[in-house]
Amino acid sequence: MNILGSTNFIHLNSLIFLSDIEVGKHLYWELNDITFHGQVLIVSSFVILLTLLFSFLGTSNKNIIPNGWQNFMESVVEFIKDIAQNQLGETAYRPWLPFIGTLFLFIFGCNWAGAIIPWKLIKLSEGEFGAPTNDINTTVALALLTSFMYFYAGLSTKGFGYFKRYIEPTPLLLPINILEDFTKPLSLSFRLFGNVLADELTVSVLALLVPLIVPLPVMLLGVFASSVQALIFSTLAGAYIAEAVEGH
């Protein structure tokens, strides 16, 4: 009985270790007075390499009738095409398909990497591996990139006449229209960051309190929610670009 109890205690400690989450702690790298978040760069690079690998496998041996990896990647491209097409229309979506697709695949990969891969088995001197999107720096960078792209879309389509939208339909709306451009990246970044972090914290707390059964459906729900967050971010990016191009 003592041996059985000790074994259960060891298993329980292992589950508690896997459920721990360190918020705000990072593995920092210093290079020429520039600070980098080591674990974010490592996991992001891992996701990018996986995406490139899948792309290579899907395009290295193309056939008229797709099969295997080619069929899988064509399905992914069709899904992303539908996102861009629904937001930008039949004729305007093509130039923006690579950007929207890259956003979706990167966020999707980062979210799934944090939800599926047991990074906590790898011990770091400080901080821990996890989804890069549970770091506010990553989501803010993605949101600012999206803001840059919809400004670029408006300026490349209409020139400096794009800024006339700030005083339409009346100049009284100038402060509100300017504020709207500041709130877009804020809402994009905090929505993604908050949802990914909240999911990881929820799973961690449940695994600590009831480590055997209850966290599993929550983890599955987290995988689904992380997919939805990638879809929402890329859809909103397409909607903002469409707004800049069309002027509505």
- What's the 3-state SS for 105-171? HHHHHHHHHHHHCCHHHCCCCCCCCCCHHHCHHHHHHHHHHHHHHHHHHHHHHHHHHHHHHHHCCCH
Q: Span 52-65, mean pLDDT?
A: 84
Specify the higher pLDDT residue, 104 or 125. 104
Tell me: pLDDT of 223 over 50: yes
- 226 neighbors 199 (Cβ within 8 angstroms): yes
Task: Identify the weakest region by mean pLDDT among 4-8, 75-79, 180-184, 227-231.
Answer: 4-8
Compute the C-alpha angle 58/46/213, nearest 5°.
100
Q: Span 179-200, mean pLDDT?
A: 86
Quote the pLDDT of residue 107: 94
Quote the pLDDT of residue 238: 92
Specify the higher pLDDT residue, 34 or 58. 58
pLDDT in tens, 79-98: 999 999 998 888 888 889 99
Among all chains, which residue has been given the structure tokens 């929820």? 202
Q: Give the number of other CB atoms < 10 A from CB of residue 169.
A: 7
Q: How confident is the model at residue 162 (pLDDT cuts 50, 70, 90)?
A: confident
Quote the pLDDT of residue 19: 41
User: What residue ranges do the domains of the chain occupy?
Assistant: 2-246
Q: Which two tokens stand for residue 119?
A: 């990074």
Quote the pLDDT of residue 1: 44
Quote the pLDDT of residue 67: 76
The neighbouring-strand residues paired with 30 are 35
